[in-house]
Amino acid sequence: MDLRFTDEELAFRDDVRAFIKASLPDSIRQKLVAERHVSKDDLIAWTRILNKKGWAVAHWPVEWGGTGWSPMMQLIFRDEIQQAPAPEPLAFGVNMVGPVIYTFGSEAQKRRFLPRIANLDDWWCQGFSEPGAGSDLASLKTTAKRDGDHWVINGQKTWTTLAQYADWIFVLARTDGAAKKQEGISFILVDMKTPGITVRPIQTIDGGHEVNEVFFDDVRAPIENLVGEENKGWDYAKFLLGNERTGIARIGISKARIKRIRELAAIAMQGDRPLIQDPRFRQKLVLLEVELKALEMTQFRVIANEGKREKGRPDPASSVLKIKGSEIQQATTELLMDVVGPYALPYQEERDDQLWNEPSVGPDWAAAIAPTYFNMRKVSIYGGSNEIQRGIIAKAILGL
């Protein structure tokens, strides 16, 4: 397989870079360079800039706003967005529920939801994990019972990212308690304004409010909000998670962070010399760059095989990308901790809407490094823990 970009792909990459440079507000870019979260308004504004260009849902079918780009062009686009750095479109809508709706949903659901997802008119969150049902998601206990023209939903979801902003949630709920646990689950779309929904924040180890508990007490969702067939939700969830795991590799993010590590290590002093001159630090950095290049080659191979897969079936190789991608993301934040050294220690509690404040000592760039390190502990867990991914690889790829 020839892994070199064609002249057309190189020209496309230049066009993407030029557009991002001309269109991305510098205030948003600087937040991401400094490892700070962008606000809800920032993400909405940037998504609508992309949507006006026709690039907000680049990988979707053309009839629903997609670009018709080849898989490699889509990869280049995602990589350039991450390296800029620019905000990626809200994954819960664009990469998760959107593809489920256009693949398995009704025509009415497609017309109703897909244009609003593309323009971020609706903010979505994911109702999958529960207490006792995270990696073993099929053990979920949230129920949905038919009552006339509605589903009545009861239960609890947890680790629900950005639910405090959400207009809608896609929920896995048990609709047949007598069936085998993977066969009695349905995929239901629920308006977050429906009576009976309670969102409770969970403060994370980095001091932020990113995740939540969501409680459902006799929540009524219209029958037409069922996606696909009743009791087939597990199949749709596997499809969704396959898409999520490919994106979790986030190779462009790791490239941008390594570039940042080199810049900061050139000004961070270790004794009487910059840290970048320390041979052991350079060795760790170079080894990480080699691993990242190997991961990128693996992603190219996965992309090359996309056209050979049955529609709606995830590629088990996405589990490889998930495992190694998450490990490299964590390793980059560990190197940043080496760079920041003792300045990682000062920390102030969250105030107003800011996730991180400036440290009481040290340079401005040091403020967000320790919170980023702590926050990145999650990436080997969400989207299916790395231990679960190893089981998928053993079964689906190695045949064990």
- Cis status of the peptide bond prior to 85, with omega within 30 of 0: yes
Of 50, 91, 398, nearest to 243 by C-alpha is 91
Query: What per-residue confidence (pLDDT) applies to 98?
Result: 97
- Three-state SS annotation for 120-167: CCCCEEEECCECCECCCHHHCCCEEEEECCEEEEEEEECCCCCHHHCC
pLDDT for 392 equals 83
Question: Under a CB-based contact definition with an 8 Å cutoff, are residues 341 and 308 in contact?
Answer: no
Closest CA to 188 of 249, 127, 258: 127
- Alpha-carbon distance of 209 to 355, in angstroms, equals 8
Element (H, E) at 211: strand 209-222
**Residue whose C-alpha is closest to residue 320's, from 337, 334, 299:** 299
Dist CA 88 CA 86 (whole Å): 6
Helix axes 71-83, 251-265, angle to 10 degrees: 30
User: Could you give the 3-state DSSP secondary structure of residue 219?
Assistant: strand
Q: What is the pLDDT along the chain (400 residues), one digit of tens a residue?
A: 566 789 999 999 999 999 999 999 999 999 999 888 899 999 999 999 999 999 999 999 999 999 999 989 999 999 999 999 999 999 999 999 999 999 999 999 999 999 999 999 999 999 999 998 877 888 999 999 999 999 999 999 999 999 999 999 999 999 999 998 899 999 999 999 999 999 999 988 777 789 999 999 999 999 999 999 999 999 999 888 766 655 678 899 999 999 999 999 999 888 889 999 999 999 999 999 999 999 998 888 887 776 666 655 657 777 888 899 999 999 999 999 999 988 887 555 444 444 444 445 677 788 888 888 988 988 888 777 888 889 888 888 888 7
Residue type for position 289: E
Q: Are 214 and 199 in contact (CB under 8 A)?
A: yes
So what's the pLDDT on residue 350? 47
Tokens 């969830």, residue located: 237
Domains, the chain, ordered by start = 7-89 (1.10.540.10), 124-232 (2.40.110.10), 249-397 (1.20.140.10)
**Token pair for residue 118?**
């593309």
How far, in Å, CA of 192 to CA of 165, rounded? 10
Q: Which amino acid is at 74?
A: Q
User: What backbone phi and psi angles, to 5 degrees, belong to 56?
Assistant: -70, -35
Confidence at residue 99, expressed as pLDDT on a 0 to 100 scale: 96
Contact 306, 71 (CB under 8 A): yes
Q: Which of 107, 244, 263, 291 is catalytic?
A: 244
Q: Which two tokens stand for residue 274?
A: 């910059």
d(CA 167, CA 120): 10
- Beta-ladder partners of 190: 169
Please enumerate in sequence order all residues whose Cβ is within 8 A of that of 317, keeping only pairs 6 or more positions apart, or say none.
298, 301, 302, 305, 397
Q: Are 337 and 344 in contact (CB under 8 A)?
A: yes
Helix (H) or strand (E) segment spanning residue 199: strand 197-203
> What does the DSSP 8-state code read for residue 397?
I
The secondary structure element, H or E, covering residue 47 is: helix 40-53
Residue 359 has what pLDDT? 46
Token pair 């809508």: residue: 93
Q: How far apart are CA 324 and CA 334, in angstroms?
A: 15
- How many CA within 13 A on the CB side of residue 349? 1
Cα gap 340→282, rounded to integer Å: 15
CA distances from 399 to 190, 391, 395 (A): 38, 10, 5
- The span from the first CA to the last CA of the chain, in angstroms, equals 28
Q: Compute the distance between CA of residue 323 and CA of residue 326 in angstroms, rounded to an integer.
A: 6
In terms of DSSP bridges, do strands 269-270 and 124-127 run parallel, antiparallel, or are they unpaired?
unpaired
Q: Is 387 a catalytic residue?
A: no
Closest CA to 216 of 141, 146, 283, 109: 141
Amino acid at 227: V
Record the tokens describing residue 215, joined without a space: 């409680």
